[in-house]
Structure 1
Amino acid sequence: MALSKIRSVRALVGRGGGADYHDQSGGHWIDDHIATPMARYPEYRESRQSFGINVLGTLVVEIEAEDGTTGFAVTTGGVPAAYIVEHHLARFLIGRDPAEFEKIWDQMYFSTQYYGRKGLVINAISGVDLALWDLLGKLRGEPVHALLGGAVRDELQFYATGARPDLAKELGFVGGKMPLHHGPAEGEEGLARNLAGIGEMRSRVGKDFWLMLDCWMSLDVSYATRLATRAWNEFGLKWIEEAISPDDYWGYAELRRNVPRGMLVTTGEHEATRWGFRMLFEMECCDIIQPDIGWCGGLTELLKISALADAHSKLVVPHGSSVYSYHFVCTRHNSPFAEFLMMHPDASAVVPMFHPLLQNEPVPEQGRLRISALDKPGFGVELNPDVALDRPFPN
């Protein structure tokens, strides 16, 4: 059946929460003293916003069909990504059938390859791709998960990322991932504090609750090995996540060889496209990959990444991304559970991840979400009309 062709593409930007979940007001746990690659500099150690983690803001991509149906998606990238969408990528969409997502993705990627391949450009491509899937689902009257072949389970199970895994356990999550607070620049005292924090949290959650550690690219192989070994032996840490630079595939391969048998090494939040993940697989860098669907190339590319992971017997547990991940995870056998980012300021309550930008954003109850909550056409969410958005580059 012929679908209504694409009439226009719009790129909007917003500030304060939304897809740029680091863009929070003061006092939020996500901007606390958390280890980062910039923590080697004391002036950028206490707050991640101090070195500009929130400068880009949210990108909203809207794709409107000739019949007025509009698909949209949100990711990060702000004004620079909006320029790329309006002045480069839009040419590959206007007048096209939304079902041509494979050809459209290919043209967007290879036309930007000379200045893209990762980072901001792939974020922009991801936003366009997700908006295209949202439009396709709305035109066909089907949820995105149905377009992918349908769910393989009746509900999703979640672990929670936030400052309080003990509260996550009380809220019904299967596990809790806590941020690492002290990096190598803080020496042995910092290492001792990290281990004490893990030990304290283990005492609160008990021995059977999954306890994980997010290191946000802040460590070197030696430090990560010492931390992982002691955290496993003393406190039963389930996994160590994104311990070193995402470009150091060789370091990840060494770390995975170094950690105790049974300890999981995970990464991929800041990796992009099938080619980047191929390096992680072929070099045996990790046990679980964690692509962000809004940063890795969108849903079209994530399907390829997931198939490649399956062939290498790796699990795919996407980074955050709310409904965009949920529609994917529920259709994949090698994605057995999902991540939920605790965006409440002190991680004590379950609130929508992309608040206040999205309406009808489903959230887990007691750590679970019925697939029936995802049965609206497209991704099943709408933009909040009360949130101010700006279109900086009308084409």
Structure 2
Amino acid sequence: MAFPKIKHVRAFVVRGGGADYHDQGDGHWIDDHIATPMSRYPEYRQSRQSFGINVLGTLVVEIEAADGTIGFAVTTGGEPAAYVVEKHLSRFLEGRDPSEVEKIWDQMYFSTQYYGRKGLVVNAISGVDLALYDLLGKLRQEPVYALLGGKVRDELTFYATGARPDLAKQMGFIGGKMPLHHGPAEGEEGLRKNIEELATMRERCGEDFWLMFDCWMALDLNYAVKLAHKAHEYGLKWIEEALSPDDYWGYRDLKKKAPAGMLVTTGEHEATRWGFRMLLEMECCDIIQPDVGWCGGVTELIKIANLADSKGVMMIPHGSSVYSYHFVITRHNSPFAEFLMMAPKADEVVPMFHPQLIGEPVPVNGKLKLSDAPGFGVELNREVGLHRPYAR
């Protein structure tokens, strides 16, 4: 099948919610005294936005084929990532066959390796790769999951991430992952408050509901081990991203020292097959959690998933809406998925990347059937204030 060549690549910046889900207004649970690596500084402890977690905004990548078909994707990275897409990555796309996903990815990654490798540059590459898959699906009139080998189950099953696991249980989710509110700088009192919150949620949710802690890179090894053992009494299913993503040795030791039966998970802020190879070969965790919008896109997620599968490790991608759903439903070692509760009080199910996506599906009673619409099955909301800072 001959595809029309890629004609244009465009990169936009959007502010306010959506893919940059930390870019929220006042009073949102996601910004309420959550433990972070910056919690050691009292002035940055109450709000994650206080230290600039939301300064970049959302990156929107559009790839238009010669016949006018447009694929798009949203991720984080804002204006700096838009510059990388327009000024550097576009040369590997425009005029090319959109089916050359492997070659295009390889050229984007290795051409930026001297200033990239992880972080913002790989976010930009991820956005391009996701937009390319969306375009291919639309050109072929197939959903992305069909491009990836087809579904291995009829529907997705979700756990919820948010401040109210008890409400998530009422909404039909299989588990609730709570933000950890107090880090090492708040001492024994903070540790006690963390355990008290877990105990309260266990009492509300009962014994059979999964409860997890999202530690967002905030802890040291000693604190993480103490937290894990104290939380074990209340049946904590896993402790997530407890340490810096670069501390592979710490994760290895945490996995060894965690209570029997408690899972150690990480990978949200890891990138590429090489980063995940470190996590897997050093036996750092029981579940890897790549974000498809940050780790290198679908093209790289395939390689990461195969590595995990070969090691017998589950891969549960970090919540990234339709971009992970289409992958998870094709993989046996991804038996459930994450849903971020983006309602300010975590008290209702709302679209995760609102208002940037039109037609974004959400779980009902903790489950979701994907449509067979082409691409990722969503459209870009062009009324969200798209700004193209580096138009060519």
TM-score (norm 1): 0.99
SS at 1:246's partner residue? Answer: coil
Give the distance between the partners of 2:380 and 2:86, measured in 1 at CA: 19
Is 1:135 the counterpart of 2:135 in the alignment? yes
Q: What is residue 335 of structure 2 aligned with on the other side?
A: 336
Q: How many residues align?
A: 392
Q: Deviations along 1:332-356, whole A, 9 cap, x unmatched?
A: 0000000000000000000000001
Q: What is residue 241 of structure 1 aligned with on the other side?
A: 240
Give the distance between the partners of 2:155 and 2:280, measured in 1 at CA: 28
SS at 2:385's partner residue? Answer: coil
Q: What is residue 301 of structure 1 aligned with on the other side?
A: 300
- Cα RMSD for the two superposed structures: 0.4
* Larger mean Cα displacement after TM superposition, 349-358 or 380-389: 380-389
Moved over 3 A (4+): none
Instruction: Give the Å deviation of 1:370.
Output: 1.3
SS at 2:110's partner residue? Answer: helix
Q: What is residue 355 of structure 1 aligned with on the other side?
A: 354
Identity of aligned residues (%): 77
Q: Deviations along 1:102-154, whole A, 9 cap, x unmatched?
A: 00000000000000000000000000000000000000000000001100000
5 Å-filtered alignment, 1:1-395, equals 1-232=1-232, 234-371=233-370, 373=371, 375-395=372-392
Instruction: Give the Å deviation of 1:177.
Output: 0.2
- Residue identity in the other structure for 2:377: G
Instruction: Give the Å deviation of 1:18.
Output: 1.1
SS at 2:239's partner residue? Answer: strand
Give the distance between the partners of 2:170 and 2:95, measured in 1 at CA: 51
Q: Deviations along 1:160-183, whole A, 9 cap, x unmatched?
A: 000000000000000000000000
- Residue identity in the other structure for 1:303: I
Unaligned runs of 5+ in 1: none
Give the distance between the partners of 2:91 and 2:369, measured in 1 at CA: 38
Give the distance between the partners of 1:298 and 1:355, measured in 2 at CA: 21
Give the distance between the partners of 2:42 and 2:89, measured in 1 at CA: 40
SS at 1:13's partner residue? Answer: strand
Give the distance between the partners of 2:390 and 2:270, measured in 1 at CA: 28
SS at 1:189's partner residue? Answer: helix
Q: Deviations along 1:211-236, whole A, 9 cap, x unmatched?
A: 0000000000000000001101x100
* Larger mean Cα displacement after TM superposition, 162-171 or 384-393: 384-393
Instruction: Give the Å deviation of 1:385.
Output: 2.3
Give the distance between the partners of 2:47 and 2:211, measured in 1 at CA: 24
Q: Deviations along 1:204-263, whole A, 9 cap, x unmatched?
A: 00010000000000000000000001101x100000000000000000000000001110
Unaligned runs of 5+ in 2: none
SS at 1:331's partner residue? Answer: coil
